[in-house]
Amino acid sequence: MMLWLSHFFPREPWALAQSARAFATLESMWVDPPGYFCREPGLPRVKFAFTNYGVSLGLQSVAASMDRVSRLNAFFAGYRSGDSYDTDAITPVMGCTSYLPGDFIPGGGTEIGWNSIKT
C-alpha cells in the first residue's frame, strides 16, 4: 500500500524512498511459478489473496509489473485457502479493486477487466 500512497506524491523524497523499498521487498517476495507474492520474504508458501490484491493496486498505481498483476489475479481466481480469508467480505472487495482500480488511482489506472476473471 506504500506504493499506492506514494503515487499521489511521486517526486517527494519520502515517496521515492518508500517506492524503492517496496520494489526491493516485493522482488524478494515474488513466487514464480505459479505467480503470487508470498506473505513475507522467506516464507514462499504463505500466501493471502487480500494482501496480493493490495500489492496489485499499488503496482497498478505506479504502472509497474503489470504482468505480475495479471498473473496474481489469475492465480487467486482459482486458489482457495479453505479458511476465513476466502469468505471474509474484505477479500472479495480487494479483489474487485485489483481488477477495477477505478477511483483508487487518478485517471482510472490500468484496469485488468472482468473478462480476465476465471470462474
Express each pLDDT in 80-98 by its tens digit: 888 887 777 788 889 999 9
Return contacts of 82-86, CB within 8 angstroms, 24+ apart: 85/48, 85/49, 85/50, 86/49
Number of domains into which the chain is organized: 1
Which pLDDT value is given to residue 85? 77
The mean pLDDT value for 31-55 works out to: 94
Which pLDDT value is given to residue 92? 87
Residues written for the chain: 119
Average pLDDT of the chain? Answer: 86
Instruction: Name the residue type at position 80.
Output: R
Domain of 82 in residue numbering reads as 2-116
The mean pLDDT value for 88-116 works out to: 71
- pTM equals 0.84
> What CA–CA distance (Å, rounded) separates 7 from 4?
5
Comparing 18-27, 62-71, 84-93, the range with the smallest average pLDDT is 84-93
Closest CA to 58 of 78, 72, 41: 72
Please identify which residue in the block is written with the cell numbers 479453505: 82
Q: How confident is the model at residue 56 (pLDDT cuts 50, 70, 90)?
A: very high
CA 53 to chain centre: 4
